[in-house]
Amino acid sequence: MALTAAASNAELQELAKRHLWLHFSRMGSYDDGAEVPIIVRGDGCYVWDQHGKRFLDGLSSLFCTNIGHGRAEVAQAGADQAKELGFFTNWSYAHPRAIELATKVAELAPGDLNRVFFTSGGSEAVESALKLARQYHKLRGNGTKYKVIARETAYHGTTMGCLMATGIAGLRAPFEPLPAGGCHVPNTNIYRLPEGHTTDELVEAIAHRIEFEDPSTVSAIILEPVQNAGGCFVPPEGYFQRVREIADFYDVVFISDEVICSWGRLGEWFGAQRYDYRPDIITTAKGITSAYSPMGAVIASDRIFEPFSHGTTSFAHGITFGGHPVSAAVALANIEVFERENLLEHVRTQEPAFRAMLDSLRDIPIVGDVRGAGFFQAIELVKDQETRESFSHEESETLLRGYLSAELFERGLICRADDRGDPVIQLSPPLIAGPEQFAEIESVLRPVLEEASRRMAVR
Ligand SMILES: Cc1ncc(COP(=O)(O)O)c(C=O)c1O
């Protein structure tokens, strides 16, 4: 059935329920007549649904639309490119936009991260980086190095290789057995650091685990600058500098997974710049095009590239759409917007106001912690502020799915109420957001969290 642009909501609902398979979604929840949310249009920090209702996109459409919605010039750059060269692959060939974008990314990336391998998204970037690390070791005669150290509750994507690194039991269990090699260490959840323990132990756990596994079997360490799943865990002082030392000492490739934390999310081009460390590889996606077109990238240091740079060797890996010319043109136009509007500086200057607004909610009994960096912040919800007691699985289900998610959406705020770790609300607005949007977020969060406190009997 062909749909006209003016297809009625009833038609769209019926067809969505019949044919569309939403990601990470309980499709059964639409059986009782509940509407599938259908977003039809975006402009700046806002999107509109099929009924014409406006929402504040407080999560940048899953940490993607960094420059905001509705940028005609970025759309035009994609259209112009599609007319000139709609597609050619980076599989043995180059094209001008991929070359220009690789050059620009290398210029913006820290240190000697000068070599860019494009993918179609974040999971492919992580998958590619894990494979790159393994082949790098093999080429240097260390064929037994294959394991990857990652952190508990971290999300590194959903393909089978990525799942090896992803530390969320519920996402791993349905697909086990996974490829061998994933090893998990504690994350930097300082709010829940057990009494008597120090933050130094969190990074030393990486060294201990490498020793435990046998360094001759460990290929890579993969970490986000600020860990998303669990709710924006920031690193303790000196954490990443010590990771660098550990990686060097054990000859392990240090991958900074910046699928979310790059392109201004933390107020810098890359999260590694915010915390002043030098990874061997950065994985990125989402904000590289502000999601006007799909793209991801693996950015490797000269040292990682070196064994691939001569003779008959090649990285035995490729993805048809990696470096798609339309996405590359869109990425270049996206970066131009960043530069012209000084968006990194905007995030740096607005971060204190954004954070102060969220901190002002700490008087609400259910608000346990507020944490994060840049335009990437989380509120952890607790049963008791004093003891930091968290909700049981059933309580969390009642809180998040029985009330919060629907109520926030109903009141026009798209954000994330998540319980992959302890329950949190995450906010990550487009980087053009300012005081007006912060006030709007507060005007929704405050009454909703107060009501949540009452419903969950938190005092
Ligand atoms: C840190 C991190 N790595 C990898 C991924 C996977 O990216 P994608 O969903 O584009 O495959 C994500 C997605 O949110 C992510 O946050």
CB within 6 Å of ligand 1 — which residues? Answer: 121-123, 126, 155-157, 224, 228, 257, 259-260, 285
Tell whether the model's pLDDT for residue 311 goes beyond 90: yes
The segment(s) of the chain belonging to CATH 3.40.640.10 are 72-340
Mutate to test the pocket of ligand 1, among 23, 130, 156 (most ligand atoms within 8 A of CB): 156
Instruction: Band the pLDDT of 183: cuts 50, 70, 90.
Output: very high
Mean of the pLDDT values across residues 112-132? 98
> Measured in angstroms, how far is the CA atom of residue 261 from the centroid of ligand 1?
10
Three-state SS at 63: helix
Mutate to test the pocket of ligand 1, among 126, 168, 259 (most ligand atoms within 8 A of CB): 259
Tell whether the model's pLDDT for residue 357 goes beyond 70: yes
The H-or-E segment that residue 396 falls in is helix 393-399
Mutate to test the pocket of ligand 1, among 61, 120, 155 (most ligand atoms within 8 A of CB): 155
- Residue at 450: amino acid letter: E
> Measured in angstroms, how far is the CA atom of residue 428 from the centroid of ligand 1?
15
Tell whether the model's pLDDT for residue 177 goes beyond 60: yes
Q: Do 449 and 441 contact (CB within 8 A), yes or no?
A: no
**297-333: b (≥16 Cβ within 10 Å) or e:** bbbbbeebbebbeeeeeebeeebebbbbbbbbbbbbb
Percent of all residues in the chain with a pLDDT value above 70, rounded to a whole number: 99
What distance in Å separates the CA atoms of residue 453 and residue 442, rounded to the nearest whole number? 16
Q: Which CATH class is domain 72-340?
A: alpha beta
The segment(s) of the chain belonging to CATH 3.90.1150.10 are 10-67+342-455
> Measured in angstroms, how far is the CA atom of residue 382 from the centroid of ligand 1?
27
Mean of the pLDDT values across residues 153-165? 98
CATH code that applies to domain 10-67+342-455? 3.90.1150.10
Record the tokens describing residue 425, joined without a space: 């609300």
Percent of all residues in the chain with a pLDDT value above 90, rounded to a whole number: 96
Tell whether the model's pLDDT for residue 368 goes beyond 60: yes
For 211-227, what is each residue's pLDDT tens digit? 999 999 999 999 999 99
The pLDDT value recorded for residue 95 is: 98
For 226-247, what is each residue's pLDDT tens digit? 999 999 999 999 999 999 999 9
- Residue at 408: amino acid letter: L
The pLDDT value recorded for residue 74 is: 98
Tell whether the model's pLDDT for residue 92 goes beyond 80: yes
Mean of the pLDDT values across residues 191-200? 95
Tell whether the model's pLDDT for residue 1 goes beyond 70: no
pTM greater than the 0.85 cutoff:
yes
Tell whether the model's pLDDT for residue 9 goes beyond 90: no
What distance in Å separates the CA atoms of residue 371 and residue 413, rounded to the nearest whole number? 20
Strands, E assignment, 315-366: none
> Measured in angstroms, how far is the CA atom of residue 100 from the centroid of ligand 1?
24
Mean of the pLDDT values across residues 328-352? 98
> Measured in angstroms, how far is the CA atom of residue 122 from the centroid of ligand 1?
4
Mean of the pLDDT values across residues 174-180? 97
Instruction: Band the pLDDT of 2: cuts 50, 70, 90.
Output: low
Q: Which atom of ligand 1 is nearest to the CA of 123?
A: 11
What distance in Å separates the CA atoms of residue 402 and residue 180, rounded to the nearest whole number? 37
Q: What is the mean pLDDT of the chain?
A: 96
Tell whether the model's pLDDT for residue 4 goes beyond 90: no
Mean of the pLDDT values across residues 259-283? 98
Q: Which atom of ligand 1 is nearest to the CA of 286?
A: 10
The pLDDT value recorded for residue 32 is: 87
Instruction: Band the pLDDT of 420: cuts 50, 70, 90.
Output: confident
Tell whether the model's pLDDT for residue 447 goes beyond 80: yes
Instruction: Band the pLDDT of 3: cuts 50, 70, 90.
Output: low
What distance in Å separates the CA atoms of residue 293 and residue 241, rounded to the nearest whole number? 34
